[in-house]
Structure 1
Amino acid sequence: MRRTTLAATGIAVTAVLALSGCKSGNEEADAAKTTPPSAQPSQSAGSSAPSAAASDYASAPATDTGGGGGGTAKAGQQFKLGEQAQFPFTYGTTTKGTVALAVTAIEKGDPADLAPFKLGDKVKGMVPYYIRYQVKNVGTTDLAYASVGHVKGHLGDGGAAQELSVIGKFEKCPNESLPKGFTNGKVQAGCVIALAPSADTKVSSAEYWGDPFTLGKGLNWK
Structure 2
Amino acid sequence: MRPLRTRAAFAGLLAGSLLLTACSDDSGNEPDAEGSSSPSSSAGTASASATPYLPVPDDVELTPPGSELEVGEEAVVAYEPKQDQVGVLSIRVDRLERTSFKESFSGWQLDKATRNSSPYFVRATVTNAGETNLGGRRLQPLYIVDGNNTLIEHSSFASRFDPCPSAPLPKKFGPGKKAEVCLVYLAPDKGDLTAVSFRPTQEFNPVTWTGELQKVKKAGGKGKGKNNQRG
* TM bracket, shorter-chain basis: 0.5 to 0.7
**Where do 5+ consecutive residues of structure 2 fail to align?**
23-31, 37-47, 49-58, 211-231
Instruction: Mark the CA change 1:106 to 1:216 in structure 2 (over 3 Å): closer, same or farther.
Output: farther
| Equivalent position of 2:61 in the other structure | 71
| Equivalent position of 1:101 in the other structure | 91
2:78 aligned partner, one-letter code: P
TM-score (norm 2): 0.60
**Where do 5+ consecutive residues of structure 1 fail to align?**
25-66
1:154 equivalent in alignment to 2:145: yes
Pick one of 206, 209, 216 that aligns with 1:221. 209
1:23 equivalent in alignment to 2:35: yes
Pick one of 7, 10, 14 that aligns with 1:6. 10
TM-score (norm 1): 0.62
SS at match of 2:112: helix
SS at match of 1:122: helix
Instruction: Mark the CA change 1:151 to 1:8 in structure 2 (over 3 Å): closer, same or farther.
Output: farther
| Equivalent position of 1:141 in the other structure | 132
Question: Cα deviations across residues 29-80 of structure 1 (Å, max 9, x unaligned)?
Answer: xxxxxxxxxxxxxxxxxxxxxxxxxxxxxxxxxxxxxx9x943123222111
TM-superposed deviation, 1:137: 1.1
Q: Is the 8 A contact 1:145 1:177 kept in 2?
A: yes
| Equivalent position of 1:179 in the other structure | 170
| Equivalent position of 1:123 in the other structure | 114
Instruction: Mark the CA change 1:7 to 1:172 in structure 2 (over 3 Å): closer, same or farther.
Output: farther
% same residue: 20
| Equivalent position of 1:86 in the other structure | 76
RMSD over aligned Cα atoms: 3.3
User: How many residues are treated as equivalent by the alignment?
Assistant: 171
